[in-house]
Amino acid sequence: MGQKRSISQKRTGANWKTDLAILLKITGSVKSNRGAKPFLLSVSACLLIFLTAGSARAVQWETLFTAQDVRDHLSTPAGREQALSFCRRMGISKVYIEVFRDGYQANEETLKTSRDFFRQAGLQVSGCVTTTQLGKPSTGWKIAACYTNRQNQQHLAEIFRYAASLFDEIMIDDFFFTDCQCSECVAAKGPMSWKQYRDKLMVEMSQKNVLGAARAVNPKVKIILKFPQWYDDFQNRGYVVDKESAIYDRIWVGTELRDPSSDKWGHTQQYRGFFLYRWLADVAGAKEGGGWFDPYGTDPTFYLDQAYVTVLAGAPEVMLFHYGDLASDKYHAEAEAFADDRSQLDTLAKLAGHWDGIPAYKPVNSDPGGEPYIFDQIGMLGIPLLPTAHFPAGARAALFTAHSLHDVNFVPELNEFLRNGGTAFMSEALAHRLNADPRLTPDNRIALGKDELLKSISEGGGQVIVFSDQLPRLAYVTAENQVTQLNPATRAALAKLRAAVAEFVPTSPDAPPRVVVFPMHDRVAIANFTELPVTCHLTGFGGMGTRYTKVFGTSDTRVAGDGTALYLPAHGVMVVQ
């Protein structure tokens, strides 16, 4: 996998709204032989540059020096030069220098010297805080803190005052949560549920002890909150993505994927990074700043999967966590694989955008109801999703899972959706819980029968398509690195489900599970996350042609001679139009 992937490419107008907005904002001065003169590009000049240049979006690659990296690698001139050399080789143009992690606060003089060194070298520099081993630990995840405890609250504020005195931008790594149930927390919670209390507590900590404390020292400081990749557990640990996205200056997204066969890492599907990034984009809008992944639980192949998925999700900035490990012998192969593929990732970034898919409804703070991370598994079936935190009232089709029941108005909204002719793709667990609900008319018997894998019911003026949870499980990889083989029944059910999806968005009728489809306006990206080569086709273009041209591809990907079949080696990525 360390082999450099070859590419073919064509310039396109992807992300044209962003590019044009940037061009229309260009003001400043230019230096010529006659000196510097202020200028403002006219709209016509901006349009001319835009139309002739094509898409200009490329990824800004970044890394983090943890507080321990600051101590171990940045305390000497030689160490700083070595770190700068690493950044140059990896194409990194921005670094975050961490103030606090795991109970250790970095030395102020070393922080200042390192900050100034990288700035003078032409890199952007920001700060970081990781709120681990802050003081009294949580009774749950020991590395997290009890934020009911007053000493912890004071320490939190002190850390952010210190960080804000050194940096104008600070990122918070994704340990700023609590699952504590100590006696202090029980007393403070009172009659509230744990979810309600943690919601209130963590928003208060953000406002007073993070944002308030930092801005008291540095009024212009910007604070970024990074959300972890375990999105179906946010509501249990005090991550309140809508409220926190509103109060923080920006948010970041953990797009870590890991080896999908790993028990330790939870059998994470590659689609999760895409789903979570696009879902938080729907929540936070323009405040979403970038993605973040690390080398843990990966090899060079899975490490690059993270990079390609993060880029396909549209992250304009990507954090490669962290310098100390990536520069070590242990993760040298992962770092080298990335360095080899970086130019290709930049090319792919210019093609990513204008995503399409079946709207997938996950309300903020919703519980999975026995279907944790089902969206990841459905995406791994080659069913493209368009994640949303808002009920997709105007959509022609949408995916609904048990998460939807967090919305107290869901059943009336679903009725209206069906009356307007919508098609509701529905998980087995949700159908079971809705079965015989008198508010669903006229046919409220929607649960699957014994051995049923797929069922279609006319409801109102629309259609409900219920699928068995056996189908999403087809993407699951066991600890023995095995997947469930398709049998005649599951093969037929998956084909029917994909055919129904193809009425609305492109998919593949014949790819095996773990081949993922990303429709993007008139282009489609397809990624083979199996361990074998795959030849497959695409369908669902609504009357558009079915012959394709490759505009991007990693090594050995190709379109067959007749232009209809796509060939992808294991972990290959291709974009066609």
Domain topology for 60-349: TIM Barrel (3.20.20)
> Residue 28 has what pLDDT?
36
Tell me the two tokens of residue 315: 């992250």
Residue with tokens 């991370």: 373
Please check whether residue 171 is in contact with residue 128, taking contact to mean a CB–CB distance below 8 angstroms. Answer: yes
And the tokens for 498?
């994909």
Cα–Cα distance, 181 to 277 (Å, whole number)? 30
Distance CA 531, CA 510 (A): 17
- Grouped pLDDT means (10 residues each) for the chain, 577 residues: 35 36 35 32 36 56 98 98 98 98 98 98 98 96 96 98 98 96 98 97 98 98 97 95 98 94 91 98 97 96 97 98 98 98 96 96 96 97 98 97 97 95 97 88 80 91 95 94 93 97 96 97 95 94 75 95 92 96
Fill in the amino acid letter for 118.
F
CA pair distance 565, 535, nearest whole angstrom: 7
CB atoms within 10 A of CB 485: 10
**Token pair 């492109």: residue:** 506
Say how far apart CA 373 and CA 475 lie, in whole Å: 12
Q: Where are the beta strands (DSSP E) in 269-328?
A: 288-293, 317-320
Give me the phi and psi of 566, to 5 degrees please: -115, 130
Amino acid occupying residue 365: N
Q: How far is CA 212 from the centre of its chain?
A: 28
Helix axes 16-24, 43-53, angle to 10 degrees: 140
Exposure class string for 34-63: b at 16+ Cβ within 10 A, else e = eeeeeeebeeeebeeebeeeebbbbbbbbb
First-to-final CA distance of the chain: 26
The owner of tokens 């080899």 is 340
pTM tops 0.85, yes or no:
yes
Query: Is the C-alpha dihedral spanning 50, 55, 61, 62 positive or negative?
Result: positive
Token digits of residue 335: 């770092």
At residue 344, the pLDDT reads 97
Q: How far is CA 44 from CA 37, 40, 421, in A?
A: 20, 11, 44
* Fold (topology level) of 506-577: Immunoglobulin-like (2.60.40)
Q: Is the peptide bond before 322 cis (omega within 30 degrees of 0)?
A: yes
Closest CA to 102 of 63, 147, 68, 152: 68
Per-residue model confidence (pLDDT) at position 545: 57
Residues in the chain, total: 577
Q: Which two tokens stand for residue 279?
A: 């879902």
Give me the pLDDT at residue 438, please: 86
Asked if residues 167 and 65 have their Cβ atoms less than 8 Å apart, the reply is no
Q: What residue has token string 């190709």?
A: 558
Q: Measured between alpha carbons, how far is 376 from 268 in angstroms, rounded to an integer?
A: 8
Give the separation between CA 168 and CA 115, rounded to whole angstroms.
Answer: 11
Place of tokens 């509501």: 235
Q: Helix 300-312 crosses helix 271-284 at what angle (to 10 degrees)?
A: 30
The domain ranges of the chain are 16-53, 60-349, 355-503, 506-577
Give the pair of three-digit tokens for residue 55.
């898409």
Q: What confidence score (pLDDT) does residue 443 get? A: 66
Asked if residues 490 and 496 have their Cβ atoms less than 8 Å apart, the reply is no
**The pLDDT of residue 32:** 31
Contact (CB, 8 A) for 318 and 265: no
